Amino acid sequence: MSDTATVRQAITTVGAADPSKRDFLKLLTGSAVVIGVGAIVWPFIDSMSPAKDVLALSSIEVDLAPVQEGQAITVVWRGKPVFVRNRTADEIKTAEGVALNQLIDPQSDADRVKAGKEKWLVVIGICTHLGCVPLGNKVSDPRGDFGGWFCPCHGSQYDTSGRVRHGPAPSNLGLPPYAFAGDTKIKIG
């Protein structure tokens, strides 16, 4: 009984004599716990990020030779559709002629294609709204009022440069990293 009282007395005395010391110990213990818990939790969280085999499958080659002018094809890259479109001279002219202040997400056509290869438009075929695949690759598909693509889910429309022209999508169709490997071949990824 008296022992406990003595210890309690001692604790109170220390606490009263130097409160900053106790605060420091509390902070130190608290930080160690936070860091420790964080270190244990992180492997669990990161195990849900893309695994190494998923990351490894991220580059493909596409042969452009069979794609006629005015046609578009869909290839799969990283599990997503990528549209490769061989644009007609008219479509290129329309895309280049649009004033930037008319665009929801202003970007010039030149920034969306490779210089000297303006007829090839390569975009990620995923609507930037909620991830549907827009229609417009097949001749029979609706292409919207701007001649590009039309998203059937919520009605977004894209022009011949893959730029969004009518909401609810907030931004232009994404551009995958790609490079020409010869005149009629590209490497995506």
| Residue ranges that bind another protein, judged by CB under 8 A | 45, 48-51, 54, 58, 74, 76, 78-81, 129-133, 151-155, 167-170
| Nearest C-alpha neighbor of 110 from the set 102, 121, 125 | 121
Q: How far is CA 138 from the centre of its chain?
A: 25
Measured from the CB atom, the residue of 5 and 51 that comes closer to another protein is 51
**Catalytic member of 93, 117, 138, 154:** 154
**Least distance from C-beta 157 to another protein, angstroms?**
13
**Least distance from C-beta 79 to another protein, angstroms?**
4
DSSP string, 72-94: EEEEEETTEEEEEEE--HHHHHH
Torsion sign (Cα): 38, 39, 40, 41: positive
Measured from the CB atom, the residue of 94 and 172 that comes closer to another protein is 172
Measured from the CB atom, the residue of 92 and 132 that comes closer to another protein is 132
Is 165 exposed, middle or buried (CB count within 10 Å of its CB: 0-12, 13-18, 19+)? buried
**Would residue 129 show up in a list of annotated catalytic residues for this protein?**
no
Residues assigned a catalytic role: 154
